[in-house]
């Protein structure tokens, strides 16, 4: 069958985007099925229609063009679309089983749902667990079944501690882990530091890794640096640090802003790299140009943390200087 033209795909993408923005699931689904009837496969629908829409929505939200409620409504509509389309895929009951889940604490489920749909299309038996699964519960679930792999998605670096907890729990259950998502960056360095057996930055790569890898969870765990006392201190004193720092900041700064900042600081300590904190500061300053600069928040946090916490202060100073 002849493939739809670039113009037809672009028209469909714009139509689906418009429908999604109005939460018109039925219209969006009809447009997608129409272009699939013209010869566009499900994999191409993901890569050429839905993923670009997701990227556009995320970019607009990062610029402050969408309220949180609007972004959530759009994402929920997109998830319904992907689930509806993926539901038509008949899997091989004898194929290897993989679990797809979001890192503990990460609520961005759409990328993971797309990965689950893609892997189903490629012949894997996929169990999609979504978000909100505590790492210990995940480990128990994996231990009760026979799984080829855990595919772990993480969108925000603030949740790298949750990603690490999921990796550790999966390894205890004897299941190797491949990770992906914006939180892990553009190479495998963060993934390796957290003990992952594999890393991917594309759908095709996930499938290829699952077919060709030879994971060794024990070896992956052996190179993970165990959390030190500074990370434990951040976790234990999180609330008191937020309250103390707020006392020296202008009105209008919220608990949530400092919560997110401290979570990114903890991620920097976890991976031994200031990048999570630096990227968060850059994102916040670009998003809220009229608010108190992030450097002021970082300074307020530094003032209430024990000066002997050298790694924490080093990351804070680096982020302030950028």
Tens digits of residue pLDDT in 31-52: 999 999 999 988 889 889 998 9
User: In whole angstroms, what is the distance from residue 11 CA to residue 31 CA?
Assistant: 10
Sheet holding 198-200, edge to edge: 125-130, 97-102, 149-153, 177-180, 198-200
Q: What per-residue confidence (pLDDT) applies to 57?
A: 83
* 3.40.228.10, 1.10.10.10, 1.10.940.10, 1.10.1240.10: CATH of 1-88: 1.10.1240.10
User: In whole angstroms, what is the distance from residue 225 CA to residue 201 CA?
Assistant: 24
User: DSSP alpha helices (H): ranges in 184-309?
Assistant: 189-193, 203-212, 217-222, 229-236, 238-246, 255-271, 275-287, 294-303
Q: pLDDT band at 1, cuts 50/70/90?
A: low
* 3.40.50.720, 3.40.50.300, 3.40.50.280, 3.40.47.10: CATH of 90-224: 3.40.50.280
Q: Which residue, 217, 213, 101, is CA-closest to 159?
A: 101
61-78 burial string, b = 16+ CB within 10 Å, else e? beeeebeeeebebbbebb
Summarize the confidence of residues 64-76 as an average pLDDT: 81
- In the block, tokens 């190479």 appear at 187
User: In whole angstroms, what is the distance from residue 246 CA to residue 215 CA?
Assistant: 45
In order of 70, 208, 263, the CA distances from 150 in angstroms are: 31, 15, 24
Q: pLDDT band at 290, cuts 50/70/90?
A: low
Average pLDDT of the residues of the chain: 92
For residue 250, pLDDT over 70 is answered with yes
Domain boundaries defined on the chain: 1-88, 90-224, 229-321
Residues 312-321 have pLDDT tens digits of: 999 999 999 9
Residue 44 DSSP label: H
Kindly state the tokens that stand for 94.
Answer: 């004898």
For residue 174, pLDDT over 80 is answered with yes
């Amino acid at each position: 069958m002849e493939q739809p033209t670039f113009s037809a795909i672009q028209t469909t993408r714009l139509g689906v985007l418009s429908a999604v923005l109005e939460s018109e699931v039925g219209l969006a689904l009809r447009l997608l099925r129409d272009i699939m009837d013209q010869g566009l496969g499900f994999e191409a629908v993901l890569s050429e229609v839905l993923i670009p829409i997701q990227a556009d929505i995320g970019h607009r939200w990062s610029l402050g063009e969408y309220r949180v409620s609007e972004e959530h409504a759009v994402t929920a509509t997109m998830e319904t679309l992907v689930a509806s389309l993926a539901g038509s895929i008949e899997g091989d009951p004898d194929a290897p089983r993989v679990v797809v889940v979001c890192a503990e604490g990460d609520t961005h489920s759409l990328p993971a749902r797309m990965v689950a749909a893609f892997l189903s299309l490629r012949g894997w038996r996929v169990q999609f667990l979504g978000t909100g699964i505590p790492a210990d519960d995940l480990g128990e679930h994996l231990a009760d079944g026979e799984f080829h792999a855990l595919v772990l998605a993480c969108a925000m670096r603030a949740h790298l501690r949750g990603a690490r907890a999921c990796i550790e729990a999966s390894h205890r259950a004897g299941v190797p882990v491949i990770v992906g998502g914006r939180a892990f960056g553009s190479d495998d360095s963060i993934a390796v530091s957290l003990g992952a057996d594999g890393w991917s930055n594309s759908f095709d790569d996930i499938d290829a890794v699952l077919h060709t890898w030879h994971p060794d969870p024990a070896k992956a765990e052996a190179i993970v640096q165990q959390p030190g006392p500074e990370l434990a201190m951040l976790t234990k004193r999180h609330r008191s640090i937020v309250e103390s720092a707020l006392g020296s900041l202008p009105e209008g700064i919220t608990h949530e802003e400092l919560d997110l900042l401290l979570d990114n600081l903890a991620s920097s300590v976890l991976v031994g790299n200031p990048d999570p904190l630096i990227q968060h500061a850059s994102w916040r300053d670009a998003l809220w140009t009229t608010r108190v600069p992030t450097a002021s928040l970082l300074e307020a946090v530094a003032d209430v943390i024990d000066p002997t916490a050298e790694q924490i202060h080093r990351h804070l100073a680096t982020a302030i200087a950028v």
